[in-house]
Structure 1
């Protein structure tokens, strides 16, 4: 027999049997939207999603029945005003994304941008003649050498910057409010008042990040690591400038109880992979220095 728990507001109740949970639903103490959980479930789920297992039926309500006037045309365009993004819901604690979740998200996004850059380089080489463009004969030609140099500058510097600006601006202003990396670790970007970012503010946030690092040669990234790790609202410098927060994906929603403070499997996996990458890099550097020293001593 399963033991169930249910949440009303920020209070969790249980354990109770399946029969008792059904009885509470019949008495109206538990609603279809009430979050329930039992051992073996990965996440809390709304009761309406578990009706088959609970062997209960949710009656249809008049609100679920569409009313069409006799004069309405079946070919008319929908007139409902559907918002692109849900309005923020306030109440309950807001779990801020800490340093390690943000690092894992940045690592994933960095890999995405690296793959995009490599593809652009390959496309650029193909457009300038493929492997033949890298031959000694091609480099001997002034025009070919200039074309190839311009292609590499565009592919490695200019175009990736434009792609990054578009990627981070659009993804942070989208309905998910998150890049692929942030989606993977379960966080998002929001205004300090819970509102979603507009395209303009999202672009401004990226500009603040890019130009701060450009001017400081990356020093602001280290400063932001300290501010994210030590401040109460865990804001980086570009968050402070853009008036934004990085929070759990369930923050400012109707289900703040679904927020998680633990790092999660994806974040831990990225941290381990990043650690292995650093160890491999150090090992390669030591090996290269050792080989150079051996070559020098042999002369």
Structure 2
């Protein structure tokens, strides 16, 4: 019986297994079409879809435990992982979905694209705002403390020094926040933590990934969307590809995390439970802040009589 070896999502080799076992793994969704496989006689590793015809047909059954596969022998060619590959890791049916591991350059244009709507983007921004706010407080306090100590050692901290420290902290805060967006947009997930949680990502209009500097500049372009009475943000509810003004400026779109991948059928139009929960909590917080503000204004007005 022909023995086969295959690569996993961490570029580890597994096997030997029979062709029937490989066919069973593929039928169960645990072996993607681009997964690299090899058998004795092949000059180099090949993607599954190129050699699938050699496999023994088998009725799909529960996949054998990964632990039962021994590590591949050293007879497998050393260039096994020289090329791109995609493989879905075996996982529990209750585990959250995860984007397939692939090169950032692998863009699939033959499937439907689900663009992220206005409310999904609001929910993602609320989550990111909380994260950035917490990080900003910690970093700002640390930087402010260091600068304050430096000014103090230099002969005291007057009003001008305090203003200078505040200005430096605010400038660094802007740069770090823009870097937060730029770094996450250029990551494998192409999304900030907030967008990952909601299940959306930011890409170029042609599906390609964003560079760091494009993501960095997109953050500052968001100010333009806000300065015109937030009309730039509201444009996402009316434009064909649900783009905000800053998306149009930076040539980006916000899409479902499965868009432009080999699995476009896993995209979802609905908001999702987490999105609804975040929006409800954000709405309650907004109403609470408005009530507090109105109470404060009422108290000031009463004190002035």
TM-score by length of 1: 0.67
Deviations 1:67-105 (A, max 9, x none): 556xx7xxxx99825575250112221110000010111
RMSD, aligned α-carbons: 3.7
Match of 1:122 among 132, 141, 164: 141
Deviations 1:92-140 (A, max 9, x none): 211100000101111111122211221133213432568xx9xxxx8xx
1:228 aligns with 2:266: no
1:150 paired residue number? 164
Secondary structure of the residue aligned to 1:245 is strand
TM alignment of 1:182-193, pairs within 5 A: 182-193=195-206
Contact kept, 8 Å, 1:128 with 1:148, in 2: the verdict is: no
Q: Find the aligned partners of 1:128 and 1:199 in 2 and give their Cα distance.
A: 29
Match of 2:248 among 229, 240, 248: 240
Q: Find the aligned partners of 1:226 and 1:145 in 2 and give their Cα distance.
A: 41
Deviations 1:128-157 (A, max 9, x none): 568xx9xxxx8xx864443333222211x2
Q: Which runs of 5+ in 2 are unaligned?
A: 1-19, 33-59, 85-101
Contact kept, 8 Å, 1:172 with 1:197, in 2: the verdict is: yes
TM alignment of 1:14-25, pairs within 5 A: none
Q: CA deviation at 1:254?
A: 1.1
TM alignment of 1:195-274, pairs within 5 A: 195-210=208-223, 212-213=224-225, 218-219=227-228, 222-274=230-282
Secondary structure of the residue aligned to 1:188 is strand
Q: How many residues align?
A: 237
* CA spacing shift, 1:294–1:56, aligned 2, 3 Å: closer
TM-score by length of 2: 0.65
Match of 2:107 among 77, 80, 88: 88
1:103 paired residue number? 122
Secondary structure of the residue aligned to 1:90 is coil
Contact kept, 8 Å, 1:125 with 1:148, in 2: the verdict is: no
Q: Which runs of 5+ in 1 are unaligned?
A: 1-25, 36-45
Q: Find the aligned partners of 2:215 and 2:106 in 1 and give their Cα distance.
A: 18
Of Structure 1 and Structure 2, the greater helix share is in 1
